[in-house]
Each structure stands twice: as structure tokens, then as C-alpha cells.
Chains A and B, each alone.
Chain A
């Protein structure tokens, strides 16, 4: 493998992990995703006028999650990316889940006082 270093740019890929590059998705797919995002936005606004009680937040957040997923998978090309990229993206959401879950251990249990006798 010895030899002079490549002259043009330092970016040299490891042979064992090929990158999927230059994938060109069809234009119609992008328009389709864009339309879906617009429709979901419209639903978000429309649902805001309907009182669903406790489900208000769940519905709004659910729609937002679907939209974010579409953006990440298609506009950010994660769907066609290598497994390594997918792991990196997933780990971002995993750490977000840690942030939310462990913060909720505080908020969810603040009302538990007084302590049960065994733990006092």
C-alpha cells in the first residue's frame, strides 16, 4: 500500500467501510414529501381548534414527530445512508431520550412525598 499521498485533498476513505455517495433521489419523491409535510402542518393547525382534552399535546407532538422523521429520513438522506450514519443518528435520539426520561424521574416523583416508612 506504500506510495505517495494523494495530492488532491486529504480525505482518504478506509477501504472496509464504503460510503454511499452521490445517490440522487427522484424529484417527485421530494415533492411528495414536501406535500406530506404541508398537509401535516395543515392538520396541526386544524386540530388546534378542536379540544381533545388530554390528547391535545399527544396529537400535536405525534404529528411533529412524524414530520421530523420524514425530514430526517428523506431530506437528510438517512434512509439511503450507511449503517454507521444510521447508528450516529439513532444515538442522537437515544441521548435525547435519556435527557427526557431522567428529567421525568424528577418531575413524575415530586408528588410522592411523604416517603414510605421503609425509606424514611
Chain B
């Protein structure tokens, strides 16, 4: 039966050829591909800076780079990875591609605004690239004042403007998703039949729309202070540098949830498909996404415990930061309960899920260490913090992104990739990740500060481990590029539903036609209708 599978004659990829048909497309699926290509380019550029950092840190002395160059490397690594890869990653690629078919719609509510958001993203990216080409920037991705506003003599303004512009792309994507989810659902697709992926993106979009304007205004404040000498953050002119941190983290803590919530949505889809079970406690998982979106906005000052804020405020924020662990734990427990007595399998997407569950657990729990006032004073600005947020952003968000990409790749291109290589790559990513970042917890606890290019001799063994792990991790990230590109021509034809998954997006052809469905989908099922113990085609398992 499998050998007789054929690609559909007409699909979104062959509906129009040539550059113009892509650059002027209003098809959400093609825009998702445009995003996929551009964020992948930024991912590998940001990765290149990470290579430089890990190379420098293999020895205690500064051998490869000048201190100034090193400062620019970690700044650009952070700026690119956060604003040009992680924030758009899952929403702009997978969310863009999948939300319309998941809710039974033909496209997003505003196809032109969707294309516009990509152009805005590219424009912001060009500003950042320009800043790199003319000499880079060294403030750290956080742009803390007074360094960014007065002291740094690098290209703060073009970089900050790039982030400012890219922010509008994020706002437009969020706005588009909110309207789409409210208005475009197929008849019968009620809120509680929506896949949890859609719920997670709804919560993410709320953060994008409500939070991003604050960081945009904050960047403008730095701009006017730096360019025109306003005194918003300068104490000598009546300003307060800590105010910058308040405003910056009001967005940038929730921004972590812009990265992790969509990944959590991916995990819910994958975990039910590969354990052949309904997600345990659907409505709790759905509402915990909204709870995370709201709670995420009231915890930001945990980044500022040693910045001179009031001790009373610090106690309030410490307590509130603990509260955000509750909805996160609800999800983790519910996923674990979903696995319980499921028919678990070990395809590549599911390997990423297993990886996510462990790494997110470590990342989340070390977040509680950092929210504890006394511990934070000890480990603030050390590698402990670096390890913690990489467990969330890389171990959580990127594992979710890769898991999702592997899961929906056959839907996106209509063909399968190498099952063997993809499993190898998932394992390499997991092993490489832990080897890179676990030693950093120890380093940080021992007191190694972040953002220095030299360190005392006794830290070398752990740093070499970390650099070796980064090499393995890099390999794990390069492998998918090879087999995904290979699959475009040579992969086995996947058919509409290679995983036997239950979502609406699997009811249409792979790759889907431009209008997603030949007819408006009817008889919408409950989310995650799986019968346990389905025997799948041996080839695909």
C-alpha cells in the first residue's frame, strides 16, 4: 500500500514557480517556508558566534580573541538567537503553517499582514547584519544602561533598531493568530476541540501583542538618550538606570514564554500521537498556557535582585516567580500522565519529546533556585544562570522546535526523511546539549562569572567538557539540514497521514493544496481521538 502512495498533483509548492511567486505569496504555508529559510540562516549565524565563544573558553588564557571581540561575540550570539531565531521560530514557521489547517481554515485572517510581517522581520535582520558588518556591538543582548546609552562606543543604535523593527513582525504575527483563532475556525471547531498547539499559540500571541510594545518603547528611550542626550536612565539628569531593567525585563521575561509556550504546544501534539492517547487533563493543559502567559508578566524583577531594587519588591517578585512554576508543573505532570500506559514509540519526533521533558524539568527547577533570593545573590551573573536559561531555551524551545519540524516535515514537503539519521541526530542533540551545559551549572556554582574571556586554571576541565559538548551539539544540528534537504527529492512519499495522527491537518494531502482543504471540513472530532495499540506500518516505526 505504501509503495502506491503518490504526491498530490496540485499542491502549494507547485502552485506557481519562480522567485516572484514566493516573494509576493499570500499563502501562509509559503510564508512559513520563507520564515524557515531566514530563521535557519540566523540560527547558524548565531551558532557561529557560539563556536567562537566555546573555542575561546577551551583554555584559561585569552588566546583567540581580544576581550572586546569576545564581548561582541556573546552579544551577537544572544541578540541573534533571541530576537531573530527563538522568538519567531515556532510561531512563524510551524504556527504559520499549521494553525489554519488545524482549525479547518483556508489561510490566516490577514494573509497580506502575514507577508508584511516577514518583510519587517527581514528588514530588522538587515539592520542587525549591518551592525555586525560595520563592527558589531558589545553591550550584551540585554542592552543595559548606562553602558548602552552612554559608555559603549559600538553600534548600539543599528542593532537596537533591528530588534525594534523585528518586534513589529512579532506583534503582527501574534495579532494575526489571535484574530484567526477567534474568527476562522471551521463550523463545529469549538474552543475545546482545538489542538493544544493552537491554545499554546493563542497564549503566545497575547504575550507578543501585549509585551512587545513595551520593549519597543524602551529601545526608543535608549535611542533618544544615546542620540540626543535625554536623561531617562542617567542619574545625573534625574533618570534611573534600574528603570531600564524594569522596562526591559517586563518584556524579556515573558519573551521566554514566547519561546517556550509554542514548544509546549508541539510537545502536547507529539506526546499524544506517539503514545496513542488523549492528552491527560486537556483543559488544564489548555488553561495552564493562559496562566503562564499572565503569570509571566508579574515576575520580571527576579533578574534584578542584585541590581539595587528594594528588598521588599525583591521578596514580592521572588514569591511571584515561584507561582509561575505551578502552571508549568501542571503541564509536565499531565504529559507524564499521558505517557502512563500509552503505546509509546521511539520515532525521531518522540525522541525530542523525551529530551524536552527531562531538559525542561532541569531548566524549570533551576529557575526556582534562581528565584530564591539567597541563592540568587550567590549565583547571579555566573554560568549557573547561563546553564539555566539554555536548558529552557535550547533544551526546551529548540527541542520542541526540532521535534515539531520532524513531526510535520512530511506534511510540509510530502516526503519522509531518513529515520535512522534523524534518530541519530536527536540523540546527538540530547547528549551534546547535556555535555555542553551541565558542566556550566557546576562552573557557575563554583563561581565562574559569565561574559569573561579568561578564567582561573581550575575551571578548565569543565570548560573543555562544555566546548566538546558544543561540537557534538553542532553536529546534531547540522545533520537535519542534510537529510531534510535530501528528503526534498529522494525521500519516500509520506502520504496524508504517515504517523496515524488525529489532527485536522492530517486529513488533507501532503503537501496540502494552496487552499488547505478541498471542502470545508465537517464532523470535527474531539481533540486527540486515539485508539490505543494501533499497529502501524512497520516501515514507519
Give the B-binding residues of A (Cβ under 8 A): 1-5, 10-15, 17, 84, 88, 91-92, 95, 98-99, 102-103, 105-110, 112-113, 115
Contact = CB atoms under 8 A, between A and B. Distances in A.
Main secondary structure of the interface of B (DSSP, over half): helix
A10 B519 CA distance: 13
Interface in B88-140: 105-109, 111
A98 B188 CA distance: 36
A108 B185 CA distance: 47
Contacts of B184: 10-12, 14
Given A99-B247, A110-B310, 14 more contacts: A1-B520, A3-B520, A10-B108, A10-B109, A13-B183, A14-B183, A84-B182, A92-B210, A98-B298, A102-B301, A108-B310, A109-B310, A109-B312, A112-B312
Interface string B286-300: 000000000001101
A106 B309 contact: yes
Contacts, number: 83
A112 B109 CA distance: 51
Interface of B: 105-109, 111, 178, 182-185, 187-188, 206, 210-211, 214, 242-243, 246-247, 250, 297-298, 300-301, 309-313, 316-317, 515, 517, 519-520, 522
Contacts of A102: 298, 300-301, 313, 316-317
Contacts of A105: 310, 312-313, 316
Can you list the 10 inter-chain pairs with the closest CB atoms, starting with the nearest?
A10-B107, A106-B313, A109-B312, A109-B310, A10-B106, A110-B310, A1-B187, A105-B313, A106-B309, A95-B210
Contacts of A99: 214, 247, 250
A106 B310 contact: yes
B210 A2 contact: no
A102 B242 CA distance: 14
B183 A17 contact: yes
Contact of B313 (A3, A4, A92, A109): A109
A16 B342 CA distance: 37
A2 B520 contact: yes
A2 B246 CA distance: 52
A102 B522 CA distance: 47
A13 B184 CA distance: 6
